[in-house]
Amino acid sequence: MDWQSLGHLATTFESTHIAPEGAAAAFYIVVSGDDLLIRDDDSDISPLSLDDWRWCGLEARSEHCLGVVNQVPIFAVEVDEDVDQPEGYGFESLWWFLGKVDSDLFYLLGRAKQIIEWHRTHRFCGQCGSETSLNQGDRSYQCGDCRLFFYPRLSPSIIVCVNKGTEILLAKNVNARGNFYSTLAGFVEPGESIETTVHREVFEEVGIRVKNLKYFSSQSWPFPNSLMLGFHAEYDSGDITIQEAELADAQWFPYDQLPNPPAMISISGWLINDFVQRASRGEV
Ligand SMILES: [Zn+2]
């Protein structure tokens, strides 16, 4: 069975942590440290089949069912960090896959890497230090002593495209290379609604107030475990005053004179593109 025969993951993939018994086929996403294993043949970037996985002869340190497609389980498999790559295969970072594979597969690879990372970092309880074990009922670890639960870690973040008329506010991070301007973003803090986070982040980073927040869409961003929640917002008041620890520059740019074209692989690009499309139709 080859990967393509599974069809569109968006409609066929069912998440489950329990693999069906006696499945004749399976697929494997092999994770080593921060890297994932792929065939050297670039024309076929996909998880390994059961035969491929057996042929590789690698030893699994842990194995986690991510879900099933038509009863065919897909596993994330952890192998040693310094394992030699099997002949005909190589390891690549998750970044390498971004834009090279379709988005459904990219998010599945991100899921595999995040589940393995969660397993690696939750073998002992953060409260009492005792060993944890996997639960049967759901995807969680539980401390054998104090019974505390540990679920896969997600860090919600906001990302916001602020506009003043037909201009967009874009900022350059202090660590950004070249002429790379992007929309503002930041992590949600405990106790905040995501709308509160938008107002706080924009004010902290550039000293302005915004209004008329409009939810746009979200994106899993597995570097390492963000969930990006995208908004449009309108300028309300204040002058740009950048937070110098975070930003090197921030400016209003006319929608048709942006400093760099948005890359359409991330929600920042989707947000900017959505605004540019509407502005060019005279809808903002
Ligand atoms: Zn404990």
Taking the centre of ligand 1 as the mean of its atom positions, its distance from the CA of residue 131, in whole angstroms, is 8
Taking the centre of ligand 1 as the mean of its atom positions, its distance from the CA of residue 148, in whole angstroms, is 6
Q: Are residues 210 and 109 in the same domain?
A: no
Convert the pLDDT of each residue in 49-106 to its tens digit.
Answer: 999 999 999 999 999 999 999 999 999 999 999 999 999 999 999 999 998 999 999 9
Q: Are residues 190 and 275 in the same domain?
A: yes
Q: Are residues 73 and 161 in the same domain?
A: no
Average pLDDT, 10 consecutive residues per value, the chain (284 residues): 87 94 94 95 87 95 96 97 94 94 95 97 97 94 97 97 98 87 96 98 98 98 96 98 96 95 88 97 94
Q: Are residues 112 and 214 in the same domain?
A: no
**CA gap 14, 175 in Å, rounded:** 39
Taking the centre of ligand 1 as the mean of its atom positions, its distance from the CA of residue 209, in whole angstroms, is 44
What pTM did the predictor assign? 0.93
Taking the centre of ligand 1 as the mean of its atom positions, its distance from the CA of residue 192, in whole angstroms, is 28
Residue 81's contacts (CB-CB under 8 Å, 6 or more residues apart) are 32, 33
Q: Are residues 92 and 181 in the same domain?
A: no
CATH code for position 193: 3.90.79.10
**CA gap 52, 44 in Å, rounded:** 13
Provide the terminal-to-terminal Cα distance of the chain, rounded to the nearest Å. 50
**CA gap 64, 78 in Å, rounded:** 9
Taking the centre of ligand 1 as the mean of its atom positions, its distance from the CA of residue 263, in whole angstroms, is 44
Taking the centre of ligand 1 as the mean of its atom positions, its distance from the CA of residue 84, in whole angstroms, is 36
Q: Are residues 144 and 225 in the same domain?
A: no
* Domain encompassing residue 15: 3-116
**CA gap 149, 132 in Å, rounded:** 9
- Burial call 131-170: b when 16+ CB within 10 Å, e when fewer: ebeeeeeebbbbbeeeeeebeeeeebbbbbbbbeebbbbb
Number of domains in the chain: 3
Helix intervals (H) in 94-217:
94-97, 103-121, 194-206
Which amino acid is present at 6? L
Taking the centre of ligand 1 as the mean of its atom positions, its distance from the CA of residue 135, in whole angstroms, is 14
How many angstroms separate the Cα of 195 from the Cα of each of 30, 154, 160, 216?
Answer: 38, 18, 10, 12
Q: Are residues 167 and 192 in the same domain?
A: yes
Structure tokens at 84: 């030699």
Q: Are residues 100 and 13 in the same domain?
A: yes
Taking the centre of ligand 1 as the mean of its atom positions, its distance from the CA of residue 143, in whole angstroms, is 5
